[in-house]
Every structure is written in C-alpha cells, then in structure tokens.
Amino acid sequence: MRISFADQKDSALLSINQNQEETTRLSNEISTGSKLTAPGDDPSAWSQSMNFRQGLREYDSILNNIDYATGWNQATDSALNGMTDLLSQARQTAISAQGANGMEDPSALVSSLDGVLKQMVSVANSQYGDQYVFSGTAGSSTPPFSLNDTTGVVTYSGDSGHIGVKTDKGSGSSFTVNLSGDEAFDFQSGGQTLNVIQEVWKLKNAISNGDTTTVAAELGTLDTASQSIGQQSVVTGSRLATLQNQQTAINVLKTDGQTRLSDLSDADMADAITQLQQYKTAYQAALQVTATMDNVSLLNYLTT
C-alpha cells in the first residue's frame, strides 16, 4: 500500500490530536473531580444526578423545617411548664388563704397573685424568634393575650389556626407545629370553657373580697386547669419525639442521596489518573514517531 506524503502528515496529526483531546478531557475530570461535564457525557447519569441534587436541596429545606418545628415546640414546652409552675404558686396562695386562722393579710396574698398573673400573661405571650408562640396563625405584631385587671376579662386576639410545615419528603399533609392560644390555655370544667388566667384572677378577686367559698371552688378548678396544661405538654412532647425521628430518617436519606450522587457524578480518581498516564504515554509516543518519521525520506540517503 502506498502511503502518500499528504496522508502521512495528516494521520500523524490525527493521532496527536486524539491523544491531546483525551488527556485534556481526563485532566479536566481530575481537576474538577467530576466525570460529568455535559449532559451528552452520560445522559441518564446526568438527569439522575440532577434529581438527586434537587432531592438533597429539599432534604436541607426539610431539615430546616424540622429545626424550626423543634425550636417552636421546645419554646411551647417551656411556656407550658412555666404556666404549670405559676398555677401551683396560685394554688399555694389559695391554700394559705384558707389557713386555720381565717384570711390573714389578704393584701399580701393579692399582691403575690398580681405577680403570678403578670407572669402568666407574659408566659402566654411567649415568643419564638419574633413570632408569638400561642397566637395561632394570626401572626399579629401585638401580643395575643391581654388581661383587663378590673373586669378579669382575658382577651385572645389570635386565632385557632395551625401552622403546618413540611417535615417529610412527599406531597402528603404537613406537620402541625403550634398550639393555638385557646388550645393551650382554655379548658373545660363543669360544661364551661374557662381560661387559666381568668380563673387565677377570679381567685385573686375572691381573696381580695374575703370570699372563702369561691376560693375553695377555685382551688378545684385550678387543679383541672393544671391537668389540661399537662395534657398539652404531652402533645408537645410527642411532637418533639416525632420530629427527632424524622430528623434521623431525613439525615439517613440525605447521606444515601449524597453517596448515590457521588457514585453518579464524581470522578473515579484512580481510574482517571491511570488512564491519563496511558494517554500521556501514547501522546509522547505519537510525538516521538512524528519527529522520527519526519526525518525519514529516501532523499536523505541519496548523494548527488
């Protein structure tokens, strides 16, 4: 077979170019750490890795929601605990008022209960971040609970709505984060809906008026109130436990997603470096051959 002058040059150039192209591709793969640079490299791996990347983003968003819901429920839990403590203080005061010596120095008891009431309103208006924990979804900028100290009327400006956040992948229902103000601090007693703060005010009023019958009745009502808050505490506790489980599950899924993404798109360094070495050798060989062949011609051996 005759090898023409023009073709000899071209085929030398072709193999040099091919080797150069491969070494460039491999060194790019090694330096970026990714074997996918365009969808055409591996269409199915590319589109799968896109889905995994979006999945990982969503897991991060869900973990953020779980953190938020956990923080909120912890704030709720400590507010409920605070309320329980204040209720037991109010009960202690009521018991003191019922002492064997009759009502002694009601003004001291009243001022103690005034302090309790103030703290109760403050606890009911607890905030998480800049949001009121017990305002439902009303999201107002003013505190949801207020007490009219003259009439004893407790006004709730929030609503009974629930904040739902996404704490799981999937299009299912959202996770309820909050207790609304009425859920937390209203309770049923004797067929009536009563408010915890209002009942303490009634106690204070009775002590102030020396009305021992009412004081005795309020003592019972406050017990029921305490139980009701205890139940809400259980709800919050179980929510916290659920969130903990979901966080663990999402973290496992996230790690799994990262591993699979890495399998799909990360460069196999050992393989890439070995291949690069091979192409480099081939490249050098091609250059060497071209340089050698350039000097080979019959003309070099002819003397005139």
Q: Does residue 298 bind another protein (CB under 8 A)?
A: yes
Least distance (Å) between residue 92 CB and another protein: 38
Nearest residue (CB) to another protein, 143 versus 152: 143
Which range binds another protein by CB under 8 A, 84-92, 107-115, 129-137, 181-189?
A: 129-137
Q: Does residue 224 bind another protein (CB under 8 A)?
A: no
Distance separating alpha carbons of residues 11 and 176, to the nearest angstrom? 71
Q: For the purposes of burial, counting CB atoms within 10 Å of the CB of 265, is it exposed (0-12), middle (13-18) or buried (19 or more)?
A: buried
Residues 6 or more apart whose Cβ sits within 8 Å of residue 27: 276
Q: Does residue 36 bind another protein (CB under 8 A)?
A: yes
Candidates 83, 85, 178, 96; CA nearest to 129 is 178
Q: Does residue 106 bind another protein (CB under 8 A)?
A: no
Q: Which of 42, 77, 114, 266 binds another protein (CB under 8 A)?
A: 42
Least distance (Å) between residue 79 CB and another protein: 18
Q: Does residue 118 bind another protein (CB under 8 A)?
A: no
Let me know the angle formed at the C-alpha of 120 by 114 and 124, rounded to the nearest 5 degrees. 150
**Site size for another protein (CB under 8 A):** 59
Q: Which of 24, 32, 61, 92 binds another protein (CB under 8 A)?
A: 61
Nearest residue (CB) to another protein, 101 versus 171: 171
Instruction: Identify residues 184-223 at the interface with another protein (CB under 8 A).
Output: none
Q: Does residue 5 bind another protein (CB under 8 A)?
A: yes
Distance separating alpha carbons of residues 194 and 207, to the nearest angstrom? 19
Q: Does residue 25 bind another protein (CB under 8 A)?
A: no
CA distances from 258 to 34, 51, 52, 59 (A): 14, 12, 8, 11
Tokens coding 233: 């505490």
Q: What are the backbone dihedrals phi and psi of residue 25, each rounded to the nearest 5 degrees, phi first?
A: -60, -45
Candidates 60, 38, 62, 59; CA nearest to 49 is 38
Q: Site residues (CB under 8 A) for another protein?
A: 1-7, 9-11, 14, 36, 38-44, 46-55, 57-58, 60-62, 64-65, 68, 129-131, 136-139, 159, 161, 163-166, 169-172, 174, 297-299, 302
